[in-house]
Amino acid sequence: MTRTGTITMSMQELDRLKVIEAVAEARLMTWRAAERLGLSRRQVERLVMRYRDEGAAGLVSRRRGTRSNHQLPQTVLDRALGLIHERYADFGPTLACEKLHECHGLVLSKETARHLMMDAGLWVPRKQRPPKVYQPRARRACFGELVQIDGSDHRWFEDRAPACTLLVYVDDATSRLMTLHFTASESTFSYFEATRMYLEHFGKPVALYSDRASVFRGTRAATTGNGVTQFGRAMYELNVDTWCANSSPAKGRVERAHLTLQDRLVKELRLRGISTLAAANAYAPAFMATYNAHFAKPPRSTFDAHRPLRDDEDLDAILTWRVMRKVSRSLTVLNDRVIYLLEDTVANRKLIGRYIDVWEYPDGRIEIRAAGVALRYVPYDKLAEIDQGAVIEHKRLGHALQVAQVLQAQRDNRPISGSPSRTNRGAAVRNPTPRPARRSNAHSPEKTVSVI
């Protein structure tokens, strides 16, 4: 607000005063003043007449100091504030406003409730609150006590090869790189491969700390049936705890390692001309030794928390994808759109209607087990179907698009089925009645690839 003589005017009213003065002194056209003020010409003429009669005071709003037509009665405001003090003192303005309407029939806006609570000292605006202090979490004391794991999808080979994923295992106590594993995408089997390398080299850590990806956190499609993921089930059998971080800063050691690796490792791969996953994985141990010599920290305790693998812990059997499948009346088992035919024996006939285990190994081998005994089977058929609703995680989207481009290129180069050739186009025109389409042959050699 600005004082002009003995009149208090707002900045808007002061700007209007200057424009009206210019019109009254014939220094500005009326229509030009109307455009500048966003008013009609008649309103500008009224303001000029009021200025000539009353001076600057005539341009001050006549409603100043009067009660708003939309203002709530003071009794309603007092009742609302009393109820807030009595029942909703620790509520936010929005929730308190909703409860006043639901429970007491008081209809007021959330901004009105906000101002009431601010004036009463029950609510502090976010801009006026002191900033929160997030202190860094202290490192674990022992080597192998907590290992942070994560995957980084990046163009590790720059333009020399497509983007891929690097799985990184970092020790929380020392920031030491424990395992680097290049893979096409972040999946359960890729984590099985990287974890096996870790276990065979260092032993079993106390716990693995990851994000909330579906590999580690249960979803309906990725669980074993009891809410545990395949990776979580394998780690449980090895007696290794798996925990999920609530946010990226919670596993800051591995997140900061990603930034360093995306700078240094990319350049090292370029200098050595490495552009394949196999060559990168072969170079990874040498890079880790150099990295740890520069950036690793000594632990507070000299105790190594790693435990050796037991003799009865078979990594080949533990690091597998296991699902339960029902045996049909025809002694078949359907898994991943492939039908497996069991031998027609007396023992297998007793399995009809029961659920048995199907194990898939990282190398692609399939093993069907019942009561711990492997059954003999024959792959009978592979079902071909179109999956229009495949669910793909955001971390695997890049790899899925690459596979989709390859498949689309193959389909684009394939001749269209049923198109008339040059020799029979005339016959097709003469006989426009379409023939009934043939049923698709289930034994067609064409393959369908699904990326989920």
pLDDT above 60 (res 384): no
pLDDT above 60 (res 45): yes
Domain count, the chain: 4
435 vs 112: CA distance, rounded Å:
73
Together in a domain, 255 and 207 = yes
The pLDDT confidence band at residue 181, using thresholds 50, 70 and 90, is very high
Range of the structural domain that residue 345 is part of: 320-382
Range 246-265 burial, b when 16+ CB lie within 10 A, else e: eeeeebbbbbebbeebeeeb
The average confidence (pLDDT) of the chain is: 83
Domain assignment present for 343: yes
Together in a domain, 160 and 272 = yes
Domain assignment present for 139: no
Q: What is the pLDDT of residue 225?
A: 57
Domain assignment present for 92: yes
Together in a domain, 207 and 285 = yes
Structure tokens at 34: 């109307």
Together in a domain, 195 and 284 = yes
Together in a domain, 283 and 186 = yes
pLDDT above 70 (res 6): no
Arithmetic mean of pLDDT, 304-330? 92
Together in a domain, 151 and 278 = yes
Q: 345 or 133: whose pLDDT is higher?
A: 345
Q: What is the pLDDT of residue 222?
A: 55
Domain assignment present for 141: no
The pLDDT confidence band at residue 337, using thresholds 50, 70 and 90, is confident
Q: What is the pLDDT of residues 65-123, one digit of tens each?
A: 777 777 788 889 999 999 999 999 999 999 999 999 999 999 999 999 999 999 999 99
Q: Is 177 helix (H, G, I), strand (E, B) or coil?
A: strand
Q: Which residue has the tokens 């716990």?
A: 207
What end-to-end distance do the CA atoms of the chain give, in Å? Answer: 64
Together in a domain, 174 and 289 = yes
Together in a domain, 260 and 364 = no
Give the residue from 109, 119, 111 showing the smallest Cα distance to 81.
119
Q: Is 409 helix (H, G, I), strand (E, B) or coil?
A: helix
The pLDDT confidence band at residue 127, using thresholds 50, 70 and 90, is confident
Least confident piece of the model among 220-224, 234-238, 260-264, 319-323: 220-224
Domain assignment present for 43: yes
pLDDT above 60 (res 422): no
Domain assignment present for 120: yes
Arithmetic mean of pLDDT, 331-351? 89
Structure tokens at 424: 């029979």
The percentage of the chain sitting over the pLDDT mark of 90, rounded to a whole number, equals 54
Q: What is the pLDDT of residue 246?
A: 84
Together in a domain, 234 and 177 = yes
Q: What is the pLDDT of residue 397?
A: 65
Least confident piece of the model among 245-249, 274-278, 352-356: 245-249
**Environment class of 113 (CB within 10 Å of its CB; exposed 0-12, middle 13-18, buried 19+):** buried
The pLDDT confidence band at residue 436, using thresholds 50, 70 and 90, is very low
Structural domain ending residue among the three candidates 295, 329, 362: 295
Q: 409 or 142: whose pLDDT is higher?
A: 142
Together in a domain, 122 and 210 = no
The CATH number given to whatever domain includes residue 193 is: 3.30.420.10
Q: What is the pLDDT of residue 195?
A: 96
Structural domain ending residue among the three candidates 70, 94, 128: 128
Q: Which residue has the tokens 């705890």?
A: 241
Together in a domain, 161 and 242 = yes
The pLDDT confidence band at residue 380, using thresholds 50, 70 and 90, is confident
The pLDDT confidence band at residue 437, using thresholds 50, 70 and 90, is very low
Structure tokens at 291: 């990295």
Q: What is the pLDDT of residue 390?
A: 57
318 vs 44: CA distance, rounded Å:
86
Together in a domain, 105 and 174 = no
Q: What is the pLDDT of residue 218?
A: 74
